[in-house]
Amino acid sequence: MTTSHYIAGRWVEGQGGDCISVNDPALGQPFAELMAASAAQVDQAVAAARAALPAWKATSASERAGYLRGFAEQLGQRREALISVQMRNNGKPRHEAEIDLDDAIATFNYYAELAAQLPSKNREVPLAAPGFTARTRLEPVGVVGLIVPWNFPLVTSAWKLAPALAAGCTVVLKPSEVTPLVEQAYGQIADALGLPAGVLNIVNGKAETGAALSNHTGLDKLSFTGSNSVGSQVMRSASAQCRPVTLELGGKSAIVVFDDCDVDQAVEWIVAGITWNAGQMCSATSRLLVQDGIADALLPRLQAALENLRVGNPLTEQVDMGPLTSQAQWLKVASYFATAREEGLQCLAGGRALDRDGWFVSPTLYADVPNDSRLWTEEIFGPVLCARRFATEEQAIAEANDSRFGLVATVCSADLARAERVADALEVGHVWINSVQAVFVETSWGGTKGSGIGRELGPWGLSAYQSVKHVTRCLG
């Protein structure tokens, strides 16, 4: 796989100095490799997007909508191949890989519909002053750089690519070096649809490639999803150019369980919130706040549920949870297990790496974790759940909000008025009530505090790639 970069409508070989090994995390072994793009190739990709911009933004909204529907249809036609890649390169169980693909398809279809409605969004603006008229134009922001992570490839790129194309932007997409394969489908689809050359460009590489893209003066906007440490670097790059940036960063989210909950239902919601994608989610509800009256009944059942999860290779076994996606992440999670032992935390389940090939860890539960523990305050990005008890609603809200992050939260209560009240009080971007983490393309995604800047999905995702222009005319 040497022709791994899609630039100006052509597949080209990487000319960078890095060879990227693509691994099967269930085996801990590489199964493909590709050469990274050089800085010169990043320049070529940005130049191609810049050259394609005038014609692309001049296309009709209905024409852009047609291309987006084509992306959705083509993703569906590649269904089995894309699911297989997600399972092999990410270690996702089949049911998770299927949902990822369905999410990407739904995203392209949704923004196709919004694109088709764009002409109606240009409107006259009533003015109080006589003798003038004014109208609003929504224009594409321009050439955008999209940098996406390894935990939800295909999905996160769809969340960015679909609204950017719908708005009339041209793009340079940089996938994660950990999971570069599945995004190649977008270049293949662009070829199949006859998307004009330069509208979509894909460059692969490691941190150097990402830095070359985020520092590039030819971009009009950056959109990044990933860690806070890299996000701060992307933000510095954007600030040097005084250009807009969307950042979807980390989380240390709370799930609040009140004592009027059905215990078994609560356990289902808790387990899903910490073990989906092996806990490798910025939205993982890794802080469990459980009310005193239900804690003694819930924690043993939660312990049993985590211990009974089937963990293994999704390509050869029926599993509930696969491996961690990279060796680096496996080592990071293992370091937190060591920290937990040093801190003397009470481990009810897991707390160890599994003795088998690949990068597997056990679903883990720690009880009565102090709120100054590193495991309570830091994002681990693995299936590691920390539990604390609370007495009152006010205490639960205060402890849930006591975090430098503010991405999501879950509230579990049979008292719906209370659940809604608590949801309104939580300092986060998205709250689920009595639910698993169901994410719909019509809703917004993004957080407060250290969890990022801006919103994706819904109409907010489209507006992130639009610039507002007013035209005012004197009638005299």
- Cite the active site residues: 248, 282
Estimate to the nearest angstrom the gap between the alpha carbon of 126 and the chain centroid.
39
The tokens for 223 are 């959109």
The per-residue b/e assignment along 45-78, b for 16 or more CB within 10 angstroms, e otherwise, is bbbbbbebbeebbebebeebbebbbbbbebbeeb
SS3 call for 225: strand
Closest CA to 37 of 10, 66, 4: 4
Estimate to the nearest angstrom the gap between the alpha carbon of 290 and the chain centroid.
27
DSSP 256: E
In this structure, the strands spanning 384-390 and 405-406 are unpaired
DSSP 56: H
Find all residues with CB under 8 Å of 176, minimum gap 6, and list them.
Answer: 148, 149, 150, 153
For every residue of 103-138, DSSP letters joined together read: HHHHHHHHHHHHHHTGGGG-EEE--SSTTEEEEEEE
The tokens for 77 are 């036609």
SS3 call for 357: coil
Residues 318, 315: Cα–Cα separation, whole Å: 8
Amino acid, res. 97? A
SS3 call for 72: helix
Residues 298, 304: Cα–Cα separation, whole Å: 10
Residues 440, 171: Cα–Cα separation, whole Å: 24
Residue 340 to residues 289, 375, 376, 389, Cα–Cα distance (Å):
18, 7, 10, 18
